[in-house]
Amino acid sequence: MNIKLIVVGKLKEKYLKQGISEYAKRLSKFCKLNIIEVADEKAPEKLSAAQMEQVKQTEGIRILDKIKDREYVFALAILGQERSSEEFAKEISELTTYGHSDLTFVIGGSLGLSSAVLKRANTQISFGRFTLPHQLMRLVLVEQIYRSFMINSGSPYHK
């Protein structure tokens, strides 16, 4: 199984890199994890709605360029569907059972994802209505992916 994270921007914080690295190591016995960073657009504090849309569209083109047709895509979006860890684990298990061995998760930049990326996604997933830094979201997502594999394997990690 292949799991790809497409993320906007570079990860700078050492503690986040260490956490992601730890979960990536743990995940290596379950899947091949690939994290692809695409460049973020410079976005000054005060942008018009049209300028914000342009930033999202430019980042969206970069994201879509990294997605292949056969990939099942989860877009992380605040208005996406919330799932429990158990529901997420079941969803991953069912996807792999029914032939989806390439799962892709997309985390947008500070302004979110373009409508084109949201349209390409097979599903939108939300981790709640909190706003989290997208760099921190990477760590949360990788931990939840690991947790889903542990749930599916019957491990006590989840408790």
Neighbours of 9 (CB within 10 A): 19
Is residue 76 marked as binding? yes
SS3 109: strand
Is residue 108 marked as binding? yes
Alpha helices (H) along the chain: 14-27, 49-64, 85-97, 115-120, 134-152
Taking each continuous run of H as one helix and of E as one strand, the counts in the chain are 5, 5
Q: What is the side-by-side order of every strand in the sheet holding 123-126?
A: 32-38, 2-8, 102-107, 72-82, 123-126
Annotated binding site for S-adenosyl-L-methionine: 76, 108
Annotated binding site: 76, 108
